[in-house]
């Protein structure tokens, strides 16, 4: 139909911790949602999956971005910008990008992740 019903799932080391609202019937969703969660000291990566909600069957994965602990260490003030989506299934072509703001707050003993899922296109 030329549109999707997108939402995002944020995972830390493959554990889903955040789900945004679904934005109905669009290819350019705006979420503008900000979350803050505790980070385990030894976390490896943060993955953001862009999904297409489907009432009649399993939700489709549109694409994902992965931010590693090393990538965050390269940006001590946090990362903010557009990131291209990559495929989850190698047989699927992925087009699109997501606008995120991600930063790690606090010290080694009590670090928190602040994640803003802004928009996609």
pLDDT one-digit tens code per residue, 74-90: 998 999 999 999 999 88
- Distance from chain centroid for Cα 103: 13
Query: Which residue spans within 4-111 are E strands per DSSP?
Result: 6-12, 15-19, 30-38, 45-52, 60-68, 79-84, 97-105
| Two tokens, residue 17 | 């911790």
| Two tokens, residue 64 | 């994902």
| Segment 16-32 mean pLDDT | 96
Report pTM: 0.93
In the chain, what are the domains?
4-118 (2.60.40.150)
- Distance from chain centroid for Cα 11: 8
Q: Which of 40, 38, 52 is nearest to 9 (CA)?
A: 52
């Amino acid at each position: 139909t030329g549109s999707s019903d997108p939402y995002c799932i944020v995972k830390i080391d493959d554990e889903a911790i955040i789900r945004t609202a679904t934005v109905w019937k669009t290819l350019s969703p705006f979420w503008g949602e900000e979350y803050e969660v505790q980070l385990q000291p030894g976390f490896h990566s943060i993955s953001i999956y862009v999904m297409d909600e489907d009432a009649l069957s399993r939700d489709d994965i549109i694409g994902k971005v992965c931010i590693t602990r090393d990538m965050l260490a390269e940006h001590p003030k946090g990362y903010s910008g557009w990131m291209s989506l990559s495929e989850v299934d190698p047989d699927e072509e992925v087009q699109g990008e997501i606008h995120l703001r991600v930063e790690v707050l606090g010290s080694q003993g009590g670090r928190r992740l602040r994640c803003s899922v802004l928009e996609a296109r």
